[in-house]
Chain A
């Protein structure tokens, strides 16, 4: 009897397994292609190729229709629509930056300049780690969602999980499009609120200096870096290095090394040649892969950029270095043990060669089931097209508005380029705090910029290759 039961159970399980395996399909022959991506690049990203405007609105969702209408409106017209829609309501936003919470009251104040009786309750949530994607996915299952909009980072996951699945929609404010010299209706990239930079910094209390980005992966080096599994934008940085332009930068930097140094890295680069071919990378792909391999196998994973900054500015962190968000320097309090002057920003050093860091964006989207789509559009326009709206972020160094007009006005207000000067305006008090600005970083500073489409395209080729590497473990 028991045997019969066992046999029946085994057969049932085998049948179920066969059925499910049948569902698997052939990996190389997609049977259910994903919808085309609407997210491409921002004006800050390298391959901005606007496509012709879509003239067919029949297939648009209700929120997409509102967005199409909003894209033709001025800030004030949009504000009136928002007042009409949300007076007395509650606005839920979710974002990777906590500053959305600071921007909302300013937005309400702005709307009250048009209608003094306007009120809006708000709740801004900032999930840690990767939870924002789970949260938005769960919310998208409802007919009318909870969240009106989002401020989100990680172009790769946005592309594959949010945009291709139709969970988020891009809205391009008219004033923003004008300032960037593009047309809102034809622009196909995401809307970035700002670009943030993570830059190489090193503790200067010892004898070491770093004059080439290959020095960061030299023998015995263990840079402090947020674990690429907990902050995925860190992985996007590695993906981007394999893109032709940045792989070329890696080769240029390699060529600038001394013969001895080149001899140390050359075997790894040679070994990566076949890997680069297998992964379909360009001519200099092997340089990028070699650097990535050495980096992943050497970096000392930390939980956040905050602890990295706390470590590097301490006197006792002699000869340590890290790749971390530049703006963290703003929060250092000078003391006997700790000082901003204990660190150098590598790219600012004379004679430094190679990449200075990584730039990634905070993107703004309206949820496709937004309960307050007009208000969401108006809030997005307010943050991207006015200095007040951007002020929640603009007062800190290391974050650059995607709107050139706002960026210029912001610099005129907060003077980040001279943020490290003493009160007399001529003495350099904290050299590392003189933010060279977006234009410098993306040219001379050789900032590697995130391209969501490229990241998504290599996430399971280069991405899987990276996962195979043996990560450095301090333990």
Chain B
């Protein structure tokens, strides 16, 4: 038999298995959607841009050069444009991880491993900061802590009501940025660490207790090592996201690579693209570190099936209420207060004008931000109509729903298929490659991904700027990991025998998927659709360079925040929060899946 016939037969056999077809197809598609933007942005770093520093340095208006690299790394501005922002970015990303893990981890421990009171309520309320756009907490922080004496502005709520003026390090810069981002991402830590705490085998801790081991030692030597994979996963998810966050450092006055990218883009375009590349390199580095840590995770089995119950620490009759009360107060400020403050803001006569609070005079409240139906500029609306009549806001709302639904459906489906295919060929190198390349965009900072796709699709042949098509493509690529990870984890739990039994009975693949595999792992798969949907609803950093305000809600919200029209941005925030809560509740009722499902009990 000749070699080509053997090869053809091998190919035919390989592609007779649906998961191999999926792997081959997705491998090619994801390579293109991940690598092409990177190549585009790499080209941009060596291209001469008219009217920018590279034209000035080379004296040419077109062509290629390395001066952007030389100037960025060795020029007089290297410290200001590269090293300081880089250092701040690393501090921010590390600090955010710490805050998220400490706050989310301790919270998860209290919810799952103690007899804390009001666990259901606390569990639900804790994920609110993740639901809200991240910079809205930054705006709330400003509104709370700014003061005339310290920040050189009008007084925020705290200074106005109590006269307390917080120090500058508290109001602006690194500290508030990492706290705000840490609070935003703490639900990640809570969900991941809480999942392990809830399912972990108590035998190990019980054995240590029997051996009279001190509690702190049990915590350090037994409990914490078991949640190490969840901590690593949290770092994996949070580090890149914090690194690529633009709005939080922007509002809180911290210079990071993201904020520097935006400020340098007008006159140092090529150098700004190098900053985006540097952020991407961090993403790749984190992925490689994760793969190294994955190889050494064999000893971290947490679900053994041998122990049906976990031991809960008794906080004492008073303790369980005192600690719960403290958490209720804390979550009030991170979750409820922002919403109340958003709602209140939409009834103030001027942005940040709390006259009503001092005077008690209801004439210092207004409904104009909601009900104005004429184009007027004299009463603070800057020619905008009230939220209820504002075409731009409602068009953006429809756009957001369209993009979110499309991204969720496409990313959810592709991710589920990738998870399935990778689980079926878990020892194959190609499967590992597909798995990694699908996850890579998530680890890359959003702003870099946005920049790369903007450059890729702004040319003579394809010009997708400000189109829903572009947003859906970028959102899908970025959010596939949500679904692929969720799907892979659940598929790995499925015994191959289940599908094999169906194969023996000659049941077609589509039927096997829709009648056996998907129903069994319904909850995880739906999470794979729900997470992209919710994340997409309030995504800004990823989309801000790809479309304008009025196109989707997050860019519209940011536009109003920048303009100082906080009533509109607060109103949009409320619309977003209500939408997400309705969707979460609906999905929860219909399918039983939800973000914090199973942790709060």
Interface 1/0 per residue, B51-95 and A, CB below 8 Å: 101011111111111110000000011001000000000000000
Task: Say how far B394's CB is from chain A's closest CB, in angstroms.
Answer: 16
Interface 1/0 per residue, A332-345 and B, CB below 8 Å: 11011110000000
Q: Are B61 and A32 in contact (CB under 8 A)?
A: yes
Interface-forming stretch among A187-195, A310-318, A370-378?
Answer: A310-318
List of B residues within 8 angstroms of A463 by Cβ = 267
Interface 1/0 per residue, B435-460 and A, CB below 8 Å: 00000000000000000001000111
List of A residues within 8 angstroms of B159 by Cβ = 316
A180 close to B (CB within 8 Å): no
Interface-forming stretch among B97-105, B183-191, B322-330, B357-365?
Answer: B357-365
Interface range on chain B: under 10, 10 to 19, 20 to 34, or 35 or more?
A: 35 or more
Q: Are B152 and A138 in contact (CB under 8 A)?
A: no
A58 close to B (CB within 8 Å): no
List of A residues within 8 angstroms of B371 by Cβ = none
Q: Give residues of chain A (1-46) contacting chain B, Cβ–Cβ below 8 Å.
A: 17, 20-21, 23-32, 34
Q: Are A224 and B152 in contact (CB under 8 A)?
A: yes
Q: Are A474 and B151 in contact (CB under 8 A)?
A: yes
B180 close to A (CB within 8 Å): no
Q: Are B383 and A138 in contact (CB under 8 A)?
A: no
Interface 1/0 per residue, B339-382 and A, CB below 8 Å: 00000000001111111001101001010000000010111111
Interface-forming stretch among A107-115, A156-164, A402-410?
Answer: A156-164
Q: Are A32 and B59 in contact (CB under 8 A)?
A: yes
Q: How many residues of chain A get a CB closer than 8 Å to chain B's CBs? A: 80
Query: Which of B66, B154, B351 has a CB less than 8 Å from the CB of A317?
Result: B154
CA distance A128 to B265 in the complex (A): 13
Q: Are A27 and B66 in contact (CB under 8 A)?
A: no
A264 close to B (CB within 8 Å): no
List of B residues within 8 angstroms of A313 by Cβ = 350
B572 close to A (CB within 8 Å): no
A437 close to B (CB within 8 Å): no
B469 close to A (CB within 8 Å): no
Task: Say how far B253's CB is from chain A's closest CB, in angstroms.
Answer: 4
The listed residue with most A CB atoms (<10 A of its CB), out of B159, B250, B267, B565, is B267
List of B residues within 8 angstroms of A137 by Cβ = 458
Q: Are A25 and B564 in contact (CB under 8 A)?
A: no
Interface 1/0 per residue, A47-71 and B, CB below 8 Å: 0000000000000000000000000
Query: Which of A135, A160, A318, A335 has a CB less than 8 Å from the CB of B350?
Result: A335
Interface-forming stretch among A226-234, A358-366, A380-388?
Answer: A226-234
List of A residues within 8 angstroms of B350 by Cβ = 310, 313-314, 332-333, 335, 337-338
Q: Are B65 and A25 in contact (CB under 8 A)?
A: yes
* A475-B66 contact given A165-B61, A331-B377, CB 8 Å threshold: no
A303 close to B (CB within 8 Å): yes
B393 close to A (CB within 8 Å): no
List of B residues within 8 angstroms of A23 by Cβ = 58, 63-66
List of B residues within 8 angstroms of A129 by Cβ = 262
CA distance A214 to B562 in the complex (A): 29
Q: Which residue of A lies closest to B365 (CB)?
A: A335
Q: Are B160 and A330 in contact (CB under 8 A)?
A: no
List of A residues within 8 angstroms of B377 by Cβ = 330-331, 395-396
CA distance A78 to B545 in the complex (A): 37
Task: Say how far A164's CB is from chain B's closest CB, in angstroms.
Answer: 7
CA distance A27 to B60 in the complex (A): 8
* A303-B564 contact given A331-B381, A335-B349, A337-B354, CB 8 Å threshold: yes
Q: Are A27 and B58 in contact (CB under 8 A)?
A: yes
A133 close to B (CB within 8 Å): yes
Q: Are A304 and B564 in contact (CB under 8 A)?
A: yes
Q: Which residue of B lies closest to A300 (CB)?
A: B152
CA distance A160 to B269 in the complex (A): 14
Q: Which residue of A lies closest to B555 (CB)?
A: A128
Q: Are B564 and A24 in contact (CB under 8 A)?
A: no
CA distance A337 to B358 in the complex (A): 9
Q: Are B154 and A310 in contact (CB under 8 A)?
A: yes
Query: Which of A222, A336, A338 has a CB less than 8 Å from the CB of B358?
Result: A336
CA distance A473 to B264 in the complex (A): 17
Q: Which residue of B lies closest to A319 (CB)?
A: B148
Task: Say how far A94's CB is from chain B's closest CB, in angstroms.
Answer: 9
B548 close to A (CB within 8 Å): yes
CA distance A364 to B168 in the complex (A): 43
* A303-B562 contact given A26-B59, A142-B463, A331-B379, CB 8 Å threshold: yes
CA distance A475 to B88 in the complex (A): 12
Q: Are A320 and B51 in contact (CB under 8 A)?
A: no
Q: Are B463 and A474 in contact (CB under 8 A)?
A: no
B311 close to A (CB within 8 Å): no
* A157-B51 contact given A335-B355, A337-B358, A475-B173, CB 8 Å threshold: yes
Q: Which residue of B lies closest to A19 (CB)?
A: B64
* A316-B351 contact given A98-B383, A138-B465, A463-B267, CB 8 Å threshold: no
The listed residue with most A CB atoms (<10 A of its CB), out of B51, B53, B159, is B51
B274 close to A (CB within 8 Å): no
CA distance A372 to B463 in the complex (A): 19
Q: Which residue of A lies closest to B63 (CB)?
A: A23
Task: Say how far B377's CB is from chain A's closest CB, in angstroms.
Answer: 6
List of A residues within 8 angstroms of B148 by Cβ = 316-318, 320
List of B residues within 8 angstroms of A141 by Cβ = 458-460, 463
Query: Which of A20, A127, A311 has a CB less than 8 Å from the CB of B153?
Result: A311
List of B residues within 8 angstroms of A21 by Cβ = 65-66
14 contacts between A and B (CB under 8 A): A17-B66, A32-B61, A125-B548, A134-B458, A159-B51, A160-B55, A224-B152, A300-B153, A308-B564, A310-B154, A320-B152, A330-B378, A333-B349, A468-B80
The 9 closest A-B pairs by CB, nearest first: A475-B173, A475-B172, A306-B564, A160-B51, A30-B59, A229-B263, A307-B564, A161-B51, A314-B154
